[in-house]
Every structure is written in C-alpha cells, then in structure tokens.
Chain A
Amino acid sequence: MDWLAFSLLNGIIYGLLLFMVSAGLTLIFGMMGVLNFAHASFYMLGAYFAYSLQGIVGFVPALVGATLLAGLVGAGVERWFLRRVHRYGHAHELLLTFGLSFVIAETIKLFFGNYPVDYRIPRSLDVSAFMLGNQQYPAYRLLMGVVALVMFGLIYLLLTRTRVGIVVRSAIYKPRMVEALGHNVQRVFMGVFGVGAALAGLAGAVAGAFYTTSPNMALEVGVMVFVVVVVGGLGSLGGAMLASLLIGVLTSLAVGVDHSAADLLAFVGARGWAESVGGLLTLKLSSLAATLPFALMLLILLLRPSGLMGDKD
C-alpha cells in the first residue's frame, strides 16, 4: 500500500499545482468572460524568470521576483492588449490571447533555446521529508503543496474578508453597477488579471525547478488547465479545486497501473479476443495516463455539460 499512498500524495500535490494555475484562469474567466489562452504562458514565464534570477539573487528571492514579474506582464497584457480589442467581442479576445501565447513561447525559444534549461531546486531544499515504506519522499514536493495551500488561503481571505475582495466579487457579478458606484472597474480587471498571472507565475517558478523548464511546458500545463476548468465548470473556483485534485490523482494513479483492458477482459474469458484485436485494448493503463484527463472531460461533457460545479449556461 506504500505505492498507493505515494501516488495519492503525488497526485494531490500535482492537483494543487494545477489548481494554482487554474484558479487565476477561472477567476479571470468569471470576471471578464475571457478564457485567457496565454494563462499557461505566465506559468512558463514564472519558471524562466525564476531561472534567470536564481543565479543573481538566490532561490527564494527569485521565486518572489518571478511572481511579481509574471504579474506585471499579466497586467500589461490586460492594459495594452486585451483592453484594445475588447470592443470586437470575446472570440476576438480569445484569439488575441492565443496569438500572445504563441508569441511568448517563441520569444522564450529565442532567448533560451528550444530545449529544457537547467533550472533546479537548490541543494539545501533537496532533502527527503520522510520515509514511505522504503522510499524517500522529497520535501520539496510537500513545499509545493504548502505553497499552493497558503496561496489558496490568502486568495480566499482576500476575496471574502476584505473591502477589495467585495469590490472584486461584485465586479464579477455586476460590473456596470460597480462602475456606477464609483469604482474603477477597469483597474479591478487589470488587478485581477495581474494577480491571476502572478499566481500562475509562482506556480511555474515553484514547479519548474522540480519538473522540467522548457518552452513546451506552457502547452503541456495549459491543455491540462483548460481541461480542469471545463471539468470543474467555467468560472467556478470550487469546481477548479475539485477538478484539479481529481485529475491530479487520476493521472498519478494511472501511471502506476501496469494493466490493460485485456487484463480486465480476462475476467470474462475474452483475453484472447482482446489480444487479437490489439490497439487500445492491449495498451497498458500507464501509457494511457496522459490521455485520461481528456477522456474524463469528454465523459463529464456527456453527463454534465456545464461541468462539475458550473452554473447552467
């Protein structure tokens, strides 16, 4: 059962990481109705910023710096790009952010090359937290989970307990009314966009050191994050949390399963048939792990089109 505990823990932490990225995305979507395609690019930018800063200021200041820089880039994108095309409609905004994600990825390739960079966690943090059976569990993984949880707590408190939070929540709900009450809704939008980007940047800075930092990381995480927000329900923070954890645990568990559909069919005596058919039936679940979230998404869409916790649209 060590394996199960190990996979569950990994899955939960990966899910928390996904949540850190998707929280900003779903918040921005709820407020502006724009699904920011470039959101995962901020995740990547965070990792690259931290990588560049690490050599100069050290690891932890680099994390802070990367978070701030990603947030600034995000606010800039809202101020100078999205706001300009707002009048052309949502589809146009989606396309613009799509173009931006493309440009950001290509710019990263321009500066850092089209291969993974050597961004690693510092030696002092590369220790094991505890033994699980006969395997060591890296402390850094736990740290990632803690960072995500702390961020979630802070955001939650900010949104529910402060004046700023009230304005933000009401700007999501009825922007016109908030504007009429004398609040600068444009600035609120820019702020939320920036905070969402900063969150993604922090996630990237933290996770990039543990996983790999490469120009492809935006696409890999981005697609997964889109799946998360669709499964969780567009615009729902709680749904994003649930879906992130679900997908994290699902993929993490699936990687360790060495069975295929043929093994399952063996129970009904159809193993020979399955093996003669081949294809999907003989593929091991572990090699299908990357495709499971998509399958889950299609299933959810079939059963509950608005997502796990989404409103009916």
Chain B
Amino acid sequence: MRTPLSLTAVALLAALPFVLSAGLLNASIQMLIAALFACAYSLLAGRAGMLSFGHAAYFGVGAFATVHAMNALGGSGLLPTPLLPLVGAVAGLAFGLVAGWFATQRSGTAFAMITLAIAELLHALAPQLKGWFGGESGVSSMRMPAWGLDFGSTTQVYYLTLAWVLISLAAMYFHSRTPLGRLTLALRENAHRLRFLGYDMHGLGVSAFALSAMFSGIAGGLQVISNESANYAVFDAGVSASVVLNCFIGGVGSFLGPALGAALMTFFGYSVSDQTQVWLLYQGTLFVLVMMFMPDGLTGLATATASLVRRHGLTAVLPLGMLWVVAALLLTSGAVFVIEMLQRLCSQDYRALALMSPTAPPVALFGRSWAPAVLSIWIVPAGLLAAGGLVAGCALRRLRGLAQKADQDAPAPVVPLAEQVSP
C-alpha cells in the first residue's frame, strides 16, 4: 500500500461522521463490515485460490459468539464492549480450524462443495437449537458503556467499527507480507511444487481457512455490535452468495479490490432498495458480466485502463473511454427499463388489477405512467439497447485499432490481463 494514499483514505473515513446523516452513517457501518468480510473471504478465495461458497457460517458463528458474550459479560470485566469482536474472532478461528480441517482434505471443486455443505448444515441446524441460536426471533442484546463511551450514538459505533476494520485490514495486509502469506499464494499458484518442496499442504490450507474464518468472525461480531441482535438468518445462503459476488465484482487480484467491491455493492443495495425490488438480479447480472468480460473485476478494469493510458497517452484513450461510458450507460438504462417494467407487470398487485379491467392498466415507472399494451412503449428500451450496442461495437473497433497501431509502432508485449486471477 502506498502510505500517503492510505493515510488520506483513513483520514477521509474518519471524517465521515461529520458530513453524513445518521442513516448514511449506518449504511457506512454496513459497508465497512461488508468490506471486511469480503477481504476476509478474499484471503481464502483470492489469495489461497480456494473457493468457499459457505462463508456465512463463519460470519454467523462470530456473530452468535459475540451476542452471547455481550449478554453474559454485560460489557464489563475482561471484555468491555470495544473488545467484543475478539470473541467473534476466537469463535471464527476455532470453528474455521475444525471446518477447514475437513474442507481442505480436498481441493478444487470438492472443496467448494464441502464448504457449501458445512454452511447448509449450520443453516439447517440453527433453527432447531433454540438454546444457542434463539429460534426464529434470534438473540438480542444491548451495547453497554465502557471506557467512558456509552456507544449510544451511531457515530461511536461507526468509529468502533472503523477501528476494528482498519486493524483487521492491516493484519491481513501484514499476513500477505509474511512467509506464511507468500506460501498461501503459492498454494494457489503451484500446489504441486509446494509439496515437492516439502511444505505441509494441508496445514497451509487450514491456516488460510482458519485465518479467513477468524476475520469473518470479526465482521460478524461487528455486525452484532451494530445491530444489537443476531438471528439465524445470518447463516442464509444469500449471505454466502453476496460475499462471493462482492469479492469478485471488486476483483481479487488486488488487496483492496474485494473491500471496494463490497462497499460499492452495499452502498448501491442501500441506495436503490427503495426504488427497486430486484436489486439482487442487478447484482447477479453485474457479477456474470464481470466474470465474462472483466475477469479481474472492477479494479482489474482500472488497472487495464491505466496501462492503456500509459502506453497510448491520455488523448488517445480518453475518447475511447467516453465511448465505453456512453455505451454502458445506454445499455444499462435500456436493461433497467425492461427489468423494472417486467417486474411491475409481473407483480401480484398488477396481475390482480389486470384481471379486473378489460384492457391492460397503465404502469407507473420513472415518474410517469406507461400503457404496457401499446407497442411503441417498448421502442424506448429497444432504442436504448440498440444505440448502446452500436456505441459498444464502435468502441470495440477503436480499441482493436489502438492495439493494432501499437503493434505496428512497436511490438510491445500484450497486456497480461488474464495473468493475475487465473486461479
């Protein structure tokens, strides 16, 4: 990490409570937690190259351990409120050791299936064990004052979360610099060679797994401190899915990519949740698009753009970038129009309404009403999509032309796009 840049970022994050409203600050807490969770996940999936599809288990175990510690200790004694995420960390680590010992028996696909099964096992078991997981209603608790702080305001919770997230990120960054961290990377890159060199593969796998689970547990603990409750819904497959999506949308090639992806996705999820009911569809579609066209994620896209600028100069790349932005905007608005229209047309209310009236009733969308039966309505999204496709095609041609010109000028090596994340 470049020190001045990261210091500026920390200063900006620390200044947020002075400029944001309480609602946005709450969203920021969620963003920070999601970012930490995604980074913890990336330690395993990106760095060690082991895809886990059940990371909600470690998040949830951390959350429930924290909520029980909160209730049992009342924020006093050895573990005052600010230190409670430690409980989440220990629980995550312990559970991660056990689960990791099982899961890392196998690699690749079977590993992914085992992690999924462990998470589903917990998800199926949790509602039955009312004593531990509180059944449907979950377990709730109260933040107790400690160290002269009452933790009554969102601002204090925000600073607590921020501190824990920064400490955890720093620890993970430190881990990536240690020999253990380098070996974890080697586990992804060339496991065979590592074995020939005499390293304990299973032990290395378990260490990466357990550390990732530990940081996930911290994220779970922070979530509990922020919400003052935990419910077995944290074991839901959706939680595991969203961390995978966030992490790879951000890009696992860089250290902060997953964190940025998670923060971005959580922010969008928060800001559009009033306007659309199908946010998850957009998130999933974005993930599929990223997987197909930008295997390095959004940060990979930024890196590729930067290297294009370096090679061809800003003047050559800028119009190209503008074209891509225009194309993306056109395509997105066309797709959003179609999806939102369909969502309203297929909703239960609308169907009931349509059954009663002889003609298709109008649909309210984007501040005006549209008559879905009129064909010309659909010209709007069709036009948007077609225009977007045209601009995208044009931009693609220009990009190819640029690459060709560069090849003629100087046979430079091709930008290694697929090199970073080929797992």
Interface residues of A (CB under 8 A from B): 29, 35, 81, 84-85, 87-92, 94-96, 98-100, 102-103, 106-107, 109-113, 219, 223, 226-227, 229-230, 234, 278-280, 283, 287-288, 290-291, 293-295, 297-298, 301-302, 305, 313
A88 near B418 with CB under 8 A, answer: yes
A110 near B291 with CB under 8 A, answer: no
Checking B118, B129, B295 against A92 with a beta-carbon cut-off of 8 angstroms, the contacting residue is B295
Known: A88-B418, A99-B287. Contact between A81 and B121, CB under 8 A? no
Encode contact with A along B120-152: 1 for CB under 8 Å, 0 otherwise.
110011001101100000000000000000000
Binds A, one of B103-111, B178-186, B359-367: B103-111
CB distance from A312 to the nearest CB of B (A): 12
CB distance from B231 to the nearest CB of A (A): 18
A230 near B113 with CB under 8 A, answer: yes
A102 near B120 with CB under 8 A, answer: no
In Å, the complex CA distance between A78 and B114 comes to 25
B51 near A94 with CB under 8 A, answer: yes
Which residues of the other chain, B, contact A313 by a CB distance below 8 angstroms? 106, 110
Which residues of the other chain, A, contact B245 by a CB distance below 8 angstroms? 99, 102
Known: A110-B281, A110-B339, A301-B105. Contact between A294 and B121, CB under 8 A? yes
The answer, yes or no, to whether B422 is at the interface (CB within 8 Å) is yes
Which residues of the other chain, B, contact A107 by a CB distance below 8 angstroms? 281
A91 near B284 with CB under 8 A, answer: no
Which residues of the other chain, B, contact A81 by a CB distance below 8 angstroms? 288, 292
Known: A84-B292, A88-B418. Contact between A99 and B284, CB under 8 A? yes
**Interface contacts beyond A298-B121, A313-B106: sample of 9 additional A-B pairs, CB < 8 Å, sorted by A:** A29-B109, A87-B418, A92-B422, A98-B244, A102-B280, A112-B346, A287-B128, A297-B117, A305-B105
The answer, yes or no, to whether B191 is at the interface (CB within 8 Å) is no
* 12 residue pairs bridging A and B, Cβ less than 8 Å apart: A89-B422, A91-B51, A99-B284, A102-B245, A103-B284, A113-B346, A227-B113, A288-B128, A290-B124, A291-B121, A295-B121, A301-B114
Checking B49, B113, B128 against A229 with a beta-carbon cut-off of 8 angstroms, the contacting residue is B113
Which residues of the other chain, A, contact B347 by a CB distance below 8 angstroms? 113
Q: Quick one: which of B283-297 are within 8 Å of A by CB? A: 283-285, 287-288, 291-292, 295
Checking A96, A219, A298, A305 against B291 with a beta-carbon cut-off of 8 angstroms, the contacting residue is A96
B292 near A223 with CB under 8 A, answer: no
In Å, the complex CA distance between A113 and B278 comes to 11
The answer, yes or no, to whether B153 is at the interface (CB within 8 Å) is no
A280 near B288 with CB under 8 A, answer: no
A226 near B121 with CB under 8 A, answer: no
The answer, yes or no, to whether B83 is at the interface (CB within 8 Å) is no
Chain A's closest residue to B248 (CB) is A95
A279 near B132 with CB under 8 A, answer: yes
